[in-house]
Amino acid sequence: MAATRDPRSPCLIGVARRTWHPEECGEDGAPEPLDMWAEMARAAAADSAGRGELLDRLGRIDVVYCQSWQYDDPAGRLAERIGASPKVGGYSGIGGTVPQVLLSRMARDVLAGRLDLGLVVGAEALATRRRLRKAGARPAWSHPPAEKRPFPYDLPVHPGEAAHQIFEAWLTFALFDNAHRARSGTGLDDYRRRLGALLSPMTAVAAAEPNAWFRMSRAADEIVTPTPDNRMVGYPYTKLMTAVMDVDMAAAVLVASDETADALGVPADRRVYLRGWGYAEDPVHLASRADLWRSGAMAAASGAALAGAGVPAEGIDHLDLYSCFTSSVLFALDALGLDPGASSRDEPGAPARPLTVTGGLPYHGGPGSNYMTHSIAAMAERLRADPGTFGLVSGVGMHMNKHVFAAYSTEPGPLVPPDDEEVGARARMEERPVLESAEGPARVATYSVVHGRDGAPEWGALVCDLDGPAGAARCYARLSDPEALTEAERVELVGRAVTLEAGEGRTEARLLP
């Protein structure tokens, strides 16, 4: 029986992505982001295989925030460049969920008849910027704003986080990973071997992916073993386990209603339908989450996406789980109830389902807030090559508190937008009060060890459960004793008793026997 086709069903009709590898673009590096946006918009239109010009039919252009360069009017400049005259143009904020959030908004408008054709596009030339900076030069790119704009970080910083320097992503995600390890009861060395086994297959995907920044397959031990070229960054993460943002990449996605795709002459086999999505947020401050080893928002958002698509997690054939760090992948697998080694189909001897279609952020590259545009484009390509199957993509924003999941398929089906308030209500987790500082007895709720550029441990970051009158409250603390730092990477400190003392502007922790 043929699948039901709602004429207002939102579908991806054209996708494009490109990486400017250093060896391919010479000393000048990548073009400026505006040129990259325009190239991807035209390439996505060509990918649709539609009849005639598509871009002059655009009703909306959304540009993903670009860290490489600021323009006075990003969407307007792009519209001029490609000969479009959209009624609406937007420029996003930051975060790993942004591209799908923009597409979800467009999908609502398509379903409601407010939009027929939209474009989401993003680009970063951070690797080129880095090379220019090392040479003492600045890019001479076009249309800067009249006044410098502040970086749009939109979350409040807790005074305790600021005092204890808990703001680098590799540190906050490491704190989550160590809490996850302790919850699982896995030993430190065994857990790191597990992380290597999780990441190694991603490098194999990247090795076969022309658009990956690092096209090299690596063994699990190579990824997790600290060496001079692969220093420990924040325990348990080595350099090869962290997302790489300094890349030159761009991607674009065209979304249309099914009837608009018909009118544009887009062949049916080029269409990939959005079948369900969900968005939810966890508490902003890391230490305030009662459960540091899981994400209530991931469970709610993924559940909404799968329910909308009418397919269980086991029925998803292709995955791209946001992989800036391993904790985001493991939290997503837990939320989905999936074993990373399980096959996507119930077939004896079938290979394990890859967790990425790009190679992941550490190996494909994580171009600022635009990674999901690449993963969605790659997923569309994968689904076209495997028609009738389902793909699921996820995005993680900020310090793993913003989450989005979306299901896609070449098969159309009914699409009912999720109730964001209801999904958010299901995401809510118990929260703990977080004190700016504390003294007295406490226990370690999670921790990480920060290493310097020489690879040596420098200090430990702790989240502590307070004893005594403070009750269920928590605080951040620093571990400075060199012997304690060494011990923290050999034995489990989660649950360990500590004494907290007032230091210079922060709380110092001392391990108890």
Task: Give this prediction's pTM.
Answer: 0.96
pLDDT 10s digits, 272-297:
999 999 999 999 999 999 999 999 99
419 with 445, same domain?
Answer: no
Residue 340 predicted with pLDDT over 90: no
Do residues 148 and 141 touch, judged by C-beta distance below 8 A?
Answer: no
Do residues 451 and 234 touch, judged by C-beta distance below 8 A?
Answer: yes
pLDDT 10s digits, 191-234:
999 999 999 999 999 999 999 999 999 999 999 999 999 999 99
pLDDT 10s digits, 385-410:
999 999 999 999 999 999 999 999 99
- Boundary (domain end) residue, out of 375, 400, 427: 427
* Residue found under tokens 């199957």: 389
Q: Residue 390: inside a domain, yes or no? A: yes
- Which of 461, 374, 504 is closest to 174 using CA atoms? 461
| Count of structural domains within the chain | 2
Q: What is the DSSP string of 361-380?
A: TTTT---GGGHHHHHHHHHH
418 with 440, same domain?
Answer: no
Residue 347 predicted with pLDDT over 70: no
What is the arithmetic mean of pLDDT over 246-255? Answer: 98
Q: Residue 485: inside a domain, yes or no? A: yes
The CATH number linked to 478 is 2.40.50.840
422 with 455, same domain?
Answer: no
Q: Residue 177: inside a domain, yes or no? A: no
pLDDT 10s digits, 362-379:
999 999 999 999 999 999
Q: What is the DSSP letter of 279?
A: E
Residue 141 predicted with pLDDT over 80: yes
444 with 306, same domain?
Answer: no
Separation in Å, CA 32 to CA 20, 329, 459: 11, 32, 39
Q: Residue 448: inside a domain, yes or no? A: yes
261 with 357, same domain?
Answer: yes
Q: Provide, rounded to the nearest whole percent, the portion of the chain with pLDDT above 70.
A: 96
Residues 6+ apart with CB under 8 A from 406: 100, 103, 104, 274, 276, 277, 278, 305, 376, 392, 393, 394
Q: Residue 496: inside a domain, yes or no? A: yes
Q: Residue 394: inside a domain, yes or no? A: yes
- Residue 15: strand pairing partners: 253
The CATH number linked to 137 is 3.40.47.10
Q: What are phi and psi of 68, to 5 degrees?
A: -75, -35
Q: Residue 227: inside a domain, yes or no? A: no
349 with 406, same domain?
Answer: yes
- Residue 456: strand pairing partners: none
Q: Residue 193: inside a domain, yes or no? A: no
Confidence band of 470 (pLDDT split at 50, 70, 90): low
Residue 350 predicted with pLDDT over 60: no
328 with 391, same domain?
Answer: yes
Give the CA dihedral 192, 488, 168, 96, nearest 10 degrees: 30
Give the separation between CA 336 and CA 299, rounded to whole angstroms. 7
Instruction: Give the residue numbers spanning the domain of 78.
Output: 10-146+246-427
